[in-house]
Amino acid sequence: MTAKDPVSTLPSDVHPDDALAYIQDRGVGALADRMGIEFTEFTRERAVATMPVEGNTQPIMLMHGGAYVVLGETLGSMHANLVAPEGTVAVGVDINATHTGSARTGRVTGTCVPIKLGRSIAVHEITIDNEDGQRCSTVRITNFYKQVSK
């Protein structure tokens, strides 16, 4: 697998302490790029990323609920692949979000932590806060670990 392989988990030659640099080099996908998502932490324990409000709003200038979901899915799926069992790739099978606040300006920060890391599924919770530290959304994603075809 090469560093640009879109379905690879962290290559065996990349130390987990270098995971943030690896994904920053590899990229996290066209949609995440378009949304302005930037990873700031990526470890086996958690993943953190930010996203600008500007450009990701609904007509009344609040952050769009779907934007929160994109941030949550990006964090949860990337983390599930970081910790994926050897020979598997994580694919999302369920996601839900509860919006409890809003952001109008600045950046929001998503913090992703695993709830369950199993042999066949991973469940993550992502909390998304505005710059004032107010929670705007809580996202939960379940990923299934699918065997990679040789």
Closest by Cα among 11, 5, 42 to 26: 5
Q: Give the burial string for 42-67 (b: 16+ CB within 10 Å, else e).
A: beeeebbbbbbbeebbeeeebbbeeb
Tokens matching residue 35:
């949304």
Residue 3 has pLDDT above 50, yes or no: no
User: Is 73 tagged catalytic?
Assistant: yes
In whole angstroms, give the CA distance from residue 150 to residue 132. 47
Q: Residue 82: what residue type?
A: L
Q: Residue 79: what residue type?
A: H
Query: Residue 12: its pLDDT value, please?
Result: 65
Global pTM? 0.89
Residue 129 has pLDDT above 70, yes or no: yes
How many alpha carbons fall within 13 Å on the CB side of residue 10? 24
- Which one from 41, 45, 54, 73 is the annotated catalytic residue? 73
Model pLDDT for residues 57-109, shown as the tens digit of each residue? 999 999 999 999 999 999 999 999 999 998 999 999 999 999 999 999 999 99
The mean pLDDT of 126-131, rounded to a whole number, is 98
Model pLDDT for residues 17-72, shown as the tens digit of each residue? 788 888 888 888 999 999 999 999 999 999 999 999 999 999 999 999 999 999 99
